[in-house]
């Protein structure tokens, strides 16, 4: 019986164009949405730790900055939960931009500003290699044996972006890119950070540096809002 039910759900997902996830209409008809991602959406397990933490920390009129957007679900739910929030998103994978924009359109979301760019320490303005995988969730600045092809993506200075936008809440999920981003990062003024760590892609010393960078800015872990590799930090003052 369980096997038949699982088969039915997979067959249904194959022909569905959208799925309703936490009240959000999510396009799933593109080739970028592989079966495991569809299964997570249908079983209500997609990006749960990030979503739960963000929705608990979000306040009216917050400025939210998301680095690594994926399908656009996390920032889309934030926009629905706090319509007065201002949200700025940065996605490196150019093949996801149209799908994210479609999600915004079908959900009547107008408060999210989307950029196809890689945020880097130091000066932006150049381009960087971004490695596309079969699963969009594994796309990364780091080349692996799963890389299908590589694209050139424009860069922006992460520090300059932070200083100009002044986010209250920062959400980061960039498949190992956090090791490069954090060492010189000044997070002063950020009230909360939701970060997915990728220990298979970064070193232990890089993880330690991330925690040090957060502590310097007065951001300390919220154990109650953290799960597995998703760590939530909140300003202690």
Q: How far apart are CA 69 and CA 100, in angstroms?
A: 8
Q: Is 178 helix (H, G, I), strand (E, B) or coil?
A: helix
190 CB neighbour count, 10 Å cutoff: 23
Measured CA to CA, the distance from residue 61 to residue 44 in angstroms comes to: 27
Domain extents in the chain: 47-235
At how many degrees (to 10) do helices 97-106 and 73-81 cross? 30
**In Å, how far from its chain's centre is CA 187?**
18
CATH code, 47-235? 3.40.50.150
* Structural element, H or E, at residue 219: strand 219-221
Cβ(125)–Cβ(88) under 8 Å? no
- 45-49 contact pairs (CB < 8 A, 24+): 46/21, 46/71, 46/73, 47/73, 47/74, 48/227, 49/226, 49/227, 49/228, 49/230
Each residue's pLDDT tens digit in the chain (237 positions)?
556 555 555 555 566 899 999 999 999 998 888 899 999 999 999 999 999 999 999 999 999 999 999 999 999 999 999 999 999 999 999 999 999 999 999 999 999 999 999 999 989 999 999 998 877 777 888 888 778 889 999 999 999 999 999 999 999 999 899 999 999 899 999 999 999 999 999 999 999 999 999 999 999 999 999 998 999 999 986
Q: Which residues pair with 89 in a beta bridge?
A: 66, 114
Task: State residue 147's pLDDT score.
Answer: 83
């Amino acid at each position: 019986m369980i096997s038949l039910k699982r088969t039915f759900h997979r067959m249904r997902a194959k022909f569905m164009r959208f799925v309703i996830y936490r009240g959000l209409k999510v396009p799933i008809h593109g080739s970028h949405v592989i079966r495991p991602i569809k299964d997570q959406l249908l079983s209500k397990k997609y990006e749960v730790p990030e979503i739960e933490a963000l929705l608990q920390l979000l306040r009216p009129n917050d400025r939210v900055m998301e680095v690594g957007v994926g399908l656009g679900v996390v920032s889309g739910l934030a926009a629905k939960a706090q319509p007065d929030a201002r949200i700025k998103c940065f996605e490196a994978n150019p093949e996801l931009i149209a799908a994210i924009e479609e999600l915004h359109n079908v959900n009547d979301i107008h408060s999210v500003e989307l950029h196809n760019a890689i945020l880097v320490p130091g000066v932006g303005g150049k381009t960087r290699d971004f490695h596309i995988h079969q699963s969009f969730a594994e796309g990364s600045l780091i080349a692996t044996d799963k890389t299908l092809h590589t694209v050139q993506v424009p860069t922006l200075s992460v520090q300059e972006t932070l200083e100009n936008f002044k986010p209250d809440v920062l959400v980061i999920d960039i498949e190992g890119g956090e090791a490069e981003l954090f060492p010189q990062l000044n997070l002063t003024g950020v009230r909360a950070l939701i970060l997915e760590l990728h220990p298979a892609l970064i070193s232990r010393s890089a993880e330690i540096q991330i925690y040090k960078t957060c502590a310097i800015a007065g951001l300390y872990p919220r154990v109650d809002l953290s799960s597995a590799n998703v760590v939530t930090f909140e300003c202690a003052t």
